[in-house]
Amino acid sequence: MLRNFRNFSDVEFDFYKSGALISGENGTGKTNLLEAISFFAFGKSFRNCHDTDLINFSSDHLHIRGEFVKNEHILQFESGIEKNRKKISLNGSRINRTSNLYKFIKTVYFSPEDVEFLSGAPVFRRNFLDQALSQYSFSYLELLRRYSHILKQRNILLKTEYENAIKKSWDKQLINYGSKLIDCRLKYLDSFIPRLQKNYQCISANRENLSLKYRYSFPRRESESLSSDLEEYLEEIAGQEKETGHTLAGPHLDDLQFEIDNHPVRSFASQGQKRSTAISARLVQAEMIRVKDSETPILMFDDVLADLDKIRTRNIIKLLHSDHQIFIASPNAAIYKDFKLKEIKLELLP
């Protein structure tokens, strides 16, 4: 049920287990409906916006409700947003921290903007990895939150005339949690990368090879530990950090480098190759959840296949497990007829 959510004033949807093909002209709310479904997985929009932006222009509040079936248990979510205040409940109990929703509903959103995490700044690729890992492991989310707090406090300290002993204390915490964070990422990528390569080879019909490398923000010597390397580098750049007032090394500045046939995707890949790479990565994100928790996440395609050739589109469809609930939003439903999903035409809504 959606009430005053984006362009939906008051409407209810009942979806099939297989999902739905959501069709309609631009402006009818296709992406908005995907956004509403995924809200219960993240407690916020997958767009970069404020909660109040979700409220219909004609109102000052919204109310949404969703019912999910997971492992034969019914999960009833409700949320209301009014005047910068948000309330979310699960089966009648208040959810005080939105990140706790990561434990319950898993969704993977395939967006046209996914090529940004390949073409854009390193922060896009870190955000992709952090979100994928947070869905895969809730303990990683807790670790990331702790590291972010330490980083913020250390940056505040660097802007002051600090005592060296106090800085050493924050250095120790940053190195400790930063090393743990990187270690979690590397272990995740050990399983992620082979699956990524396999998916991309399937999508490209074995015409291209995709690889992925982790790029550290500090010199890495394989003979030394992560913490030793990070500690040594922070000592080297202590003067620069004091001058800039920012922490200049750590997992918050690391990067991922995707390569096709040993050429960086960011610089050399075509739009079709970038789109195929992004879709491959999202499919592995879903597969990792599926393998670890025996839970099949909900997949949401926001018209991401429209620009791909028929061979790549057909091969992507082959990679999908039949037990996924799949939602596809598109103004051209004919492109997705092979998915055999029930169509919801938004123009026909009352």
Domain range summary for the chain, segments of one domain joined by +: 1-106+298-350, 114-294
The arithmetic mean of pLDDT across residues 83-87, rounded, is 89
Q: In what order do the strands lie in the sheet with 343-345?
A: 107-110, 298-302, 326-330, 19-23, 343-345
Is the fold of 1-106+298-350 the same as that of 114-294?
Answer: no
The arithmetic mean of pLDDT across residues 135-157, rounded, is 97
The DSSP letter of residue 342 is: P
The percentage of residues in the chain with a pLDDT greater than 90, rounded to a whole number, is 80
Express each pLDDT in 88-97 by its tens digit. 999 999 999 9
Identify the H or E element spanning 20: strand 19-23
For residue 24, what pLDDT band results from cuts at 50, 70 and 90?
A: very high
**Structure confidence at residue 349 (pLDDT):** 82
Residues in the chain: 350
2-5 and 61-70: which strand pairing? Answer: antiparallel
Q: What is the CA radius of gyration of the chain?
A: 22
Cα(82)–Cα(180) distance, rounded to whole angstroms?
A: 38
Whether domain 114-294 has CATH 1.20.1050.90: the reply is yes
Q: Which residue has the higher pLDDT, 80 or 310?
A: 80
**Structure confidence at residue 149 (pLDDT):** 98
Here the tokens at position 149 are: 């707090």
Here the tokens at position 238 are: 């202590």
> Could you tell me which of 170, 143, 148, 144 has the C-alpha nearest to residue 241?
170
> Could you tell me which of 246, 242, 280 has the C-alpha nearest to residue 260?
280
301's CB contacts (< 8 A; 6+ apart) are 110, 326, 327, 328, 329, 330, 336
Express each pLDDT in 293-322 by its tens digit. 878 899 999 988 887 888 888 898 888 877
Express each pLDDT in 211-247 by its tens digit. 999 999 999 998 789 999 999 999 999 999 999 999 9
The arithmetic mean of pLDDT across residues 62-74, rounded, is 92
The arithmetic mean of pLDDT across residues 142-158, rounded, is 97
**Structure confidence at residue 222 (pLDDT):** 82
Whether domain 1-106+298-350 has CATH 3.30.70.260: the reply is no
Q: Is the pLDDT of residue 48 over 90?
A: no
Mean of per-residue pLDDT scores for the chain: 93
**Structure confidence at residue 172 (pLDDT):** 98
The arithmetic mean of pLDDT across residues 274-299, rounded, is 92
**Structure confidence at residue 294 (pLDDT):** 79
Q: Is the pLDDT of residue 2 over 80?
A: yes
**Structure confidence at residue 88 (pLDDT):** 96
The arithmetic mean of pLDDT across residues 105-114, rounded, is 92
Identify the H or E element spanning 281: helix 271-293
The DSSP letter of residue 252 is: G
**Structure confidence at residue 54 (pLDDT):** 95
**Structure confidence at residue 47 (pLDDT):** 87
* Contact (Cβ atoms closer than 8 angstroms) between residue 174 and residue 250: yes
- What are the two backbone dihedrals, phi and then psi, of residue 223, each rounded to the nearest 5 degrees? -75, -15
> Could you tell me which of 128, 142, 136, 230 has the C-alpha nearest to residue 178?
230
Beta-strand (E) ranges in 230-335?
Answer: 255-260, 263-264, 298-302, 326-330
